[in-house]
Chains A and B, each alone.
Chain A
């Protein structure tokens, strides 16, 4: 009898905890939805914060260049070097530039750029807005009748949405150069021959879909960073958590989006 009573009690508690957790999940989802909708509403309404947008584009774009350059170049070299043995086995070493070109343009460049941006930019935005939130700077903007969402969120999300496709094009270029260095060393292919093969292998749809994909990745990186920062909890550890959770969430979403994009593009092809 006693045991039965205990069981009932425990079950009720479990169900209570579960329902609280579900409530919180749905609350979070509706918050995310409202946040994204607010972005679209405020992005198109004047006044526009042009100066801040330029500044954020610089932060996202120019400041990511060193890391993107290094990573892109090395990926080009390594990927080429690792692909060579399998192709050589089938006597198809001359296809190397085509293979590299397709892999970089279709998959590697968009993904690498987005992941680097998630690590560098999303966390940065999360920490920056998070610390503005906990030190009441966002409240201060609000009570002085200015619009913090417009100044902080719209500018950053626009910057990432515009700059990540741009960076992606740059990553393609650097990775192809890295690959060329390796190909030139091993097969003594000339610069012209290499690039003719590279461009022959890819189509307009390849470039186009990668650019579209990068717009989505860019939007994701910006909006996740801003959402996490804007909704960070009080206290200094809230800032760290916002930054960390921005990176994890942004990367997770980027991989999901990559999978979806793969389905769509395959269907189009």
Chain B
């Protein structure tokens, strides 16, 4: 299913990255990445396992430090700001982890309250409850409010993970392999949820994946991460019209069985 075209404001950039480099133990992972994320845009980053997709969004959210390059998020240079400024910036970034990373000693309600009560002071019990219920409703899982993460399915955990980030009303969403390990139907539900979040909360998102169905369903624009750099960008059709054997291999691996 192809995503409908959305008007994107190309002058309004929320993330700008230039010449980003990162290596681990002499292993060059990112070798000069340039990236722009525009307001209200869903950008899909396609790449094989181990190409450094997760490293890229971890640098954007300040979990990892870049070796070289310029990383600007919402007007601030992530690697150069103080801890307090970084925290303030992080409240505007939602991070959906590959394995959801739900706090497994807490109920769903406590998971959602965790970032809320620690970042938004002076909220009454009633206001907190209301917000928790609202975001759970937005991901369609209000009934799971008192369950433990271990009682939920993979797809439900993904939804709760997304709800937990939505509770701080982020401007940017980072999705790390949102459909990995899910069956095709649940994947489709998550793809729809990603688009719903984009429309309802007016977020700009980076969606990292190697699932082409997800890329086609959620991406306004797609870039391919090959050998540490972004190569080929455009819509799904534009990318896969390409003759590069590495791109072809990617396509064939996804759509032939």
A-B contact pairs, 15 of them (CB 8 A): A135-B104, A136-B99, A137-B103, A139-B101, A140-B95, A140-B164, A143-B93, A144-B91, A144-B115, A144-B164, A144-B168, A145-B87, A145-B115, A145-B119, A146-B114
Can you name the residue of chain A whose Cβ is closest to the Cβ of B60? Answer: A143
Whether the pair B101, A136 counts as a contact (CB closer than 8 A) is: yes
Whether the pair A145, B91 counts as a contact (CB closer than 8 A) is: yes
List 10 tightest A-B contacts by C-beta distance, closest first: A144-B115, A140-B101, A145-B87, A136-B101, A145-B90, A143-B95, A146-B118, A145-B91, A143-B61, A136-B97
Whether the pair B114, A144 counts as a contact (CB closer than 8 A) is: yes
Residues of A127-147 whose CB lies within 8 A of B: 128, 132, 135-137, 139-147
CB distance from A151 to the nearest CB of B (A): 8
The contact string, 1 if C-beta is below 8 Å from chain A, for chain B 153-194, is 000000000001100100000000000000000000000000
Bound CA–CA A144/B162 (angstroms) = 12
Whether the pair A144, B103 counts as a contact (CB closer than 8 A) is: no
Bound CA–CA A143/B64 (angstroms) = 11
Residues of B45-68 whose CB lies within 8 A of A: 58, 61-63
Chain B residues with Cβ below 8 Å from A47 are 118
Chain B residues with Cβ below 8 Å from A141 are 103, 114
Q: Which positions in B face A, CB cutoff 8 Å?
A: 58, 61-63, 87-88, 90-91, 93, 95, 97-99, 101-105, 114-115, 118-119, 164-165, 168
Chain A residues with Cβ below 8 Å from B104 are 135, 137
Can you name the residue of chain A whose Cβ is closest to the Cβ of B170? Answer: A144
Most B CB within 10 A of own CB, among A47, A132, A137, A147? A137
Number of A interface residues in the complex (CB < 8 A): 15
Chain A residues with Cβ below 8 Å from B165 are 144
Whether the pair A139, B97 counts as a contact (CB closer than 8 A) is: yes
Can you name the residue of chain A whose Cβ is closest to the Cβ of B91? Answer: A145
Bound CA–CA A140/B114 (angstroms) = 11
Chain B residues with Cβ below 8 Å from A143 are 61-63, 90, 93, 95
Whether the pair B119, A140 counts as a contact (CB closer than 8 A) is: no
CB distance from A258 to the nearest CB of B (A): 33
Can you name the residue of chain B whose Cβ is closest to the Cβ of A49? Answer: B118
Bound CA–CA A128/B165 (angstroms) = 23
Bound CA–CA A214/B131 (angstroms) = 45
Q: Which positions in A face B, CB cutoff 8 Å?
A: 47, 128, 132, 135-137, 139-147
Whether the pair B88, A145 counts as a contact (CB closer than 8 A) is: yes
Most B CB within 10 A of own CB, among A47, A136, A141, A143? A143
Whether the pair A146, B101 counts as a contact (CB closer than 8 A) is: no
Can you name the residue of chain B whose Cβ is closest to the Cβ of A47? Answer: B118
A140-B118 CB under 8 A given contacts A145-B87, A145-B88, A145-B90: no
Whether the pair A146, B99 counts as a contact (CB closer than 8 A) is: no
A135-B99 CB under 8 A given contacts A144-B114, A144-B165, A146-B114: yes
Chain B residues with Cβ below 8 Å from A136 are 97-99, 101
Can you name the residue of chain B whose Cβ is closest to the Cβ of A136? Answer: B101
Whether the pair A140, B87 counts as a contact (CB closer than 8 A) is: no
Bound CA–CA A137/B88 (angstroms) = 20
Bound CA–CA A71/B37 (angstroms) = 62
CB distance from B152 to the nearest CB of A (A): 14
Can you name the residue of chain A whose Cβ is closest to the Cβ of B84? Answer: A145
Chain A residues with Cβ below 8 Å from B168 are 144-145
Bound CA–CA A146/B86 (angstroms) = 11
Bound CA–CA A197/B155 (angstroms) = 67
Bound CA–CA A128/B93 (angstroms) = 27
CB distance from A100 to the nearest CB of B (A): 42
Whether the pair B101, A144 counts as a contact (CB closer than 8 A) is: no
Chain B residues with Cβ below 8 Å from A144 are 90-91, 95, 114-115, 119, 164-165, 168
Can you name the residue of chain B whose Cβ is closest to the Cβ of A55? Answer: B105
Chain A residues with Cβ below 8 Å from B105 are 128
Bound CA–CA A141/B95 (angstroms) = 10
Contact for B119 among A132, A135, A139, A146, CB less than 8 A? A146
Bound CA–CA A260/B208 (angstroms) = 54
Bound CA–CA A147/B118 (angstroms) = 9
Chain A residues with Cβ below 8 Å from B99 are 135-136
Contact for A139 among B63, B87, B102, B115, CB less than 8 A? B63
Bound CA–CA A143/B119 (angstroms) = 12
Contacts A143-B95, A144-B165, A146-B114 supplied; 6 other A-B pairs, CB < 8 Å:
A136-B97, A136-B99, A140-B95, A142-B63, A145-B90, A147-B118
Chain A residues with Cβ below 8 Å from B102 are 137
CB distance from A25 to the nearest CB of B (A): 18
